[in-house]
A and B are shown apart, each in its own frame.
Chain A
Amino acid sequence: MNASYLWLRDFVPFDLSATGIGDLLTSRCATVDEVVPLRQDLSGIVIGRVVEAAPHPDSDYLWVTKVDAGLGVLHDVVCGASNVSVGTSYPFAAVGTVLPGGLKIEKRKIRGSVSEGMLCSARELGLGADHEGIMALETAAAPGSRFLDVLPVGDSRLLVDVLPNRPDLLSHQGLAREIAAATGVALSRPPIPGSARAGSGLVDPGNGHRATGTGNLAPVVEVQDAEGCPRYMSAVVRGVTVAPSPDWLASRIESVGGRSINNVVDVTNYMLHGFGQPMHAFDLARLSGNRVVVRRASPTEKLVTLDGVERRLDDSMTVIADAEKPQAIAGVIGGKGSEVNTSTTDILLEAAVFDAARVRATRTRLGISTDASYRFERGVDRTSVPDLLAYATEMLVSVAGATSGEITDSSPAALAPRSVELRLSRVAQLLGQPVTREEIDSNLSAVGFWIASGAGDRLEIGVPTFRPDVVSEIELIEEVARLHGYENFSSELRPFRPGTVPDAPMHLAAKRVRGACVAAGLLEARPMPFVRTGDDSHRVRNPLAEDEAFLRTSILDSLARRAEYNLAHTQRNVRLFEIGTVFTADRDADTGAPAEQTHAAAVVLGDRRPAHFTEPRPPHYDEWDAKGLAVLIGSAAFPGADITCVPAGGDLLWTVTANDRPAGSVRRLKLDAPVWAAAAFGIEVDMEALSDALAEPKPYMPVPAMPSMEVDLALVVPDSTPAADVERAIRNAAGDLLESLALFDEFRGIGISEGMRSLAWRLTFRHPERTLREKEIQGRTAKILSALEAALGIRQRTF
């Protein structure tokens, strides 16, 4: 909410600056987001004292004066005001100053006399409609002082972020209560300028709902919807003259960012911002049938509201109606038809409390939010209604010449006082340090609570009706902590016990995979996980945009879009990975929401490594890189598991398996890509494919002490025979002396017939305890070759 510095001072005459008050409120109860100085258009105006004044030689109504504006030299100023007098101070605009409205003061000649500035009237400064002359100031401030520093026109607006549980702070009185408690300065209700006595013109509420009083019969007020309206009070105020507000009232309304409308409406807005009590003034003459009924609307009813919009009502809404039709939507907005205007003489002033949930539902349905609905939704104090209605009526007497007020009240019975138990031991337990009973007593009392009873550890704390948020001990403990001052609690670390919760296994797995991907030169992405199309079960009900209405089922969906984004920005080389959530076709058994899996995925395209002068055109990433990354990611996700890439059909290149269970895939990615783009490859691994992934650590194998022997075998292999089959056959025939087997060459062309290829393997043999003999290996090799021929019909390549 917006608060005015000066308005707050009407309630508590504190000594702090606007920023000081901002800091105080922030540390105690509600953060002040900003302090905005008002009337900065007057910042160039200074105090000028007239030290000489003589009639202008050539004019009957002009004066030639000398003005001291604190600069050591006197300014010659020609002035036309009859009230100029020597020794008096006035607001002074020197040459170069810009007045509100944009007029820039220049040095000029008036009837032959030089004038070096201007003594200003209230109107010229936008401070009122005073035409009587220039603005004589009763101030002892030195000439040259800033006008804004001397006169209380330099208000500041505080933008206060009131928390949803503190409706009591949505008014100047509420904020002032906290300031009063913090500063020790008493809180009081601002006296009404021009008002002689409190409660003037009021008649006590009678027994029935009909207001008593003189003159015309006051309307009958009937509350049919007591659930939607726990308390409805009204005052019939007669004899008002609707006119512009006096300056003090208009400036209060403007100080919080409002617009002064007329004296009657401004009084209702004063009550809203000043005391948090929304009020509404109906033109009594325009309420038909001399009846006011608080009831549910009917579905056929409509109302043109104050903003000029015709609104369709329904029976979920509470309205204020006359004998015929709705005249206001309860707690939200008034109707155009009974709006106060310049011909209004009698008004019905409403001060009510409407049900928070009802107001919230109504204004949501209507799609509007008003200052009134904002407060009713959060809770308006029932108890203060009569007082505030009396205060407002008094203000109408003062500012609009009202002559009488007659009151009705639907629920005059006071609420039973409410109290909540507070244990001193519980305070100490939750806060971690004790707070004394004396401190609790004085701090809580300062903001409206009271100790109803209590001895020893247990206190009964009375809760004021304006604090609906305090319903149990814990809220009182927050009050105790808050009023003690958060800054006054210790911040020394104390010993702690370790917790019982182990690290989530998926968190550890993700860390391993992330480390592996980073080491492989990939960059991590954290893109938005929404996609354009999908299955109904993955649809967000209320998406922000239709092109991101679905949850993704694959991370590659997101990464492909990111790769396209890079290509669109002419980034030819893309290598991204992500570890994140995807949503499957299943439903989670507990929640019924789409089931989730953590996947790791990568996309690569373009140069495999940076260009160098030794390699100006590095090779592009290809499917073998992708296959390698799949094994890398799979091994990091499932340490110790056997990660295999099984050739697959369709869009896929390989299916990735972990211990023979499907765990992901490698594919060539179809992108919306420019012609120059290199082929893109995608890898996606389901990190939940193995639940028992962590294998026992492998035991140590002695580092070989004996030399190895290597044999290269170039074989002519039909295209129809997979290399993996050849490898298996070699291993079977080679026996346990074969330490490793590596495919190191593929060749097609001269010397190799069509449909065949030459594949070359390097076989490494080693005996753990002795040096191998040449003959021994030759024998093994011959055995392997004959086995290959027998099993697969494959022969050694001849050169």
Chain B
Amino acid sequence: MTIDEFLGALDALDASALALIASASTPAELELARNRVIGRKSGELGAIMKALPSLAPEERRGAGAAVNRVKSVIEAALALRASAVAAGGVIDSARDLTMPARRQWKGGRHPVTVVIEEVEEIFRELGFTTALGPEAETEWYNFSALNFPSDHPAMEMHDTLYLGDDTLLRTHTSPVQIRTMQRYPPPIRILAPGNVYRRDFFDASHAPMFAQIEGLAVDEGIGFVDLKATLTHFANRFFGATKTRFRPSYFPFTEPSAEMDVECRICHGSGCSSCKNTGWMEIFGSGMVHPRVLEAVGVDAERYTGWAFGMGPARAAMLRYGLPDIRLLYDSDMRFLEQIAG
């Protein structure tokens, strides 16, 4: 038996023993359970321990400790159950202690907020603070300053809700990049969470308003490798150690541009309907800040470089909780929020 098999058998016993003990409701049943699990003659724990000598000598000490740990957990469970069984369950002439506790209403943050705050927390360790900006913007902040060519197919990626000739509901939180660079000198490291708007019909996977988180770093001596390292670090923290992939992309305000995918959380790369059989899930759009964007806000683009990234927390929330329809996030159904809000 290998050490892995040994520990696996212990784990299995741990789980099955606790279930067996919990199901005993008389002293006799409990005694049977005790014998079956840790009985001297035919106990399952004893059977596993017989394999100890077959392990490599350097592994035996660790294996022995694991046996002791499991044994003490089982003994504690036996003792606890014994006192409950001895009390005849619960009967007290005055009170039935199995009756439910008095509860308070549980409050909670929206799942999208939960994701945003987690993202902020991870990036905070990497020196990012949080910046905000208006949702009603001008074309200049939303498009021109971000190097969107006028009358170009790229604009089709952003079907815009207009408020006036020159004013609109921002289609991304990127205008916050512009406003931040106008106001603060480098080095800059910010996250910009906020709501953005697109002229998309409200259906199972699209909404005309949704949250976005963008990040921006501007400094001397930072490059594409730092962008890649930062996003990779984030993915490993947020999703747990995971495979990532970077592929070319296009955004008017970044060059080079890259999309970062993580291995599909559902099928682990083998392909499923959630990842459209690609085995990957798109998480970040990103890239090096286009020099024209830096120039638009008066940052010396020869001296300073920058990188930026953006993600959709709603998608991450849908992934995390297995939500089939994005509208669940907007309905504010009490039954949904009671379940998911955290």
Contacts and interface: CB of A to CB of B under 8 A. Distances in A.
Interface of A: 26-31, 33-34, 163-166, 357, 360-361, 377-378, 428-433, 472, 474-475, 477-478, 481-482, 486-487, 489-494, 496-504, 506-507, 514, 517-530, 539-544, 548, 551, 559, 562, 565-566, 569, 571, 573-576, 580-581, 583, 588, 591-594, 596, 609-610, 612-614
Contacts of B105: 521-522, 575, 609-610
5 contacts: A164-B152, A506-B132, A521-B104, A523-B108, A592-B166
Contact of A523 (B134, B230, B337): B337
Contacts of A378: 153
A360 B132 CA distance: 36
Contact of A494 (B99, B229, B337): B229
B255 A475 contact: yes
Contacts of A428: 223
B329 A526 contact: yes
A164 B248 CA distance: 12
B167 to A, nearest CB: 4
Interface string B156-200: 110001111011110000000000100111111110000100011
Contacts of B226: 432, 493-494, 496
A27 B106 contact: no
A431 B278 contact: no
B185 to A, nearest CB: 6
A519 B138 contact: no
B305 to A, nearest CB: 6
Nearest to A562: B332
B96 to A, nearest CB: 10
Interface string B301-342: 000010000000000000000000000011111110110010
Contact of B136 (A30, A472, A524, A583): A583
A317 to B, nearest CB: 16
A433 B225 contact: yes
Contacts, number: 277
B132 A489 contact: no
B228 interface: yes
A490 B233 CA distance: 12
A481 B99 contact: no
Contacts of B157: 164
Select the residue from B157, B180, B209, B225 with max chain A CB neighbours within 10 A: B225
B251 to A, nearest CB: 9
Contacts of B256: 430-431, 477-478, 481-482
Interface of B: 99-100, 102-110, 112-113, 126-132, 134-138, 141, 151-154, 156-157, 161-164, 166-169, 180, 183-190, 195, 199-202, 207-209, 211, 217, 219, 221-226, 228-230, 232-233, 245-250, 255-259, 276-278, 288, 290-291, 305, 329-335, 337-338, 341
A500 B186 contact: yes
A360 B104 contact: no
Given A26-B247, A486-B258, A613-B99, A591 B195 contact: no
B334 A588 contact: no
B222 A496 contact: yes
B127 A499 contact: yes
A315 B123 CA distance: 54
A592 B278 CA distance: 45
Contacts of B199: 542, 544
A524 B259 contact: no
A430 B227 CA distance: 11
Given A378-B153, A481-B224, A542-B162, A486 B247 contact: yes
B294 to A, nearest CB: 11
A78 to B, nearest CB: 42
Given A432-B225, A524-B337, A573-B334, A163 B248 contact: yes
A593 to B, nearest CB: 4
A593 B129 contact: no
A500 B184 contact: yes
A542 B250 contact: no
B250 A166 contact: yes
B102 A612 contact: yes
Contact of B229 (A377, A491, A525, A551): A491
Given A501-B180, A583-B136, A591-B134, A528 B207 contact: yes
A565 B331 CA distance: 8
Q: Which 7 A-B pairs have the closest CB atoms?
A: A432-B223, A521-B105, A432-B225, A593-B136, A478-B256, A499-B189, A163-B250
B229 A493 contact: yes
A496 B127 contact: yes
A523 B157 CA distance: 34
Contacts of B163: 539-541, 551, 593-594
A19 B55 CA distance: 44
A22 to B, nearest CB: 9
B330 to A, nearest CB: 5
Nearest to A377: B153
A361 to B, nearest CB: 8
Given A432-B222, A496-B126, 19 more contacts: A27-B248, A163-B250, A430-B288, A432-B225, A475-B255, A477-B255, A482-B248, A482-B256, A486-B247, A490-B225, A496-B226, A503-B129, A520-B107, A524-B109, A528-B209, A540-B161, A541-B164, A592-B138, A593-B136
